[in-house]
């Protein structure tokens, strides 16, 4: 019983722990992969929120730029037009 029995016992003693370690490693890596997928999904969601917020802020800045540039020029033109317009005499004195 020295030959084949010893080889069989050696395979069981060495093989079972190796198979067990492979199963544990496989489960660990699958769990780790799922965690990374969940984290990637959260990161993508946050990126979408930031992009939406960024778009809103860009729109606000455009409106402000339009008010400052166009509105200022239009307001100045309106003031100049009022200066050039004839005044209506109402009899009241302006101080």
Q: What is the pLDDT along the chain (95 residues), one digit of tens a residue?
A: 568 888 889 889 999 999 999 999 999 999 999 999 999 999 988 988 888 889 888 988 887 787 777 756 777 777 777 777 676 665 555 55
Q: Give the CA angle between residues 76, 80, 83 to the nearest 5°.
A: 140
What is the structure's pLDDT at 92?
A: 54
- Say what the pTM is: 0.45
């Amino acid at each position: 019983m020295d030959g084949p029995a010893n080889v069989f016992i050696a395979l069981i003693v060495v093989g079972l722990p190796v198979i067990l370690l492979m199963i544990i490693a496989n489960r660990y890596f699958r769990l780790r992969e799922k965690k990374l997928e969940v984290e990637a999904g959260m990161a993508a969601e946050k990126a979408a929120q930031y992009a939406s917020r960024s778009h809103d802020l860009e729109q606000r800045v455009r409106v402000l730029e339009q008010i400052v540039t166009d509105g200022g020029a239009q307001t100045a033109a309106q003031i100049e037009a009022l200066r050039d317009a004839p005044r209506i005499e109402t009899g009241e004195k302006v101080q």
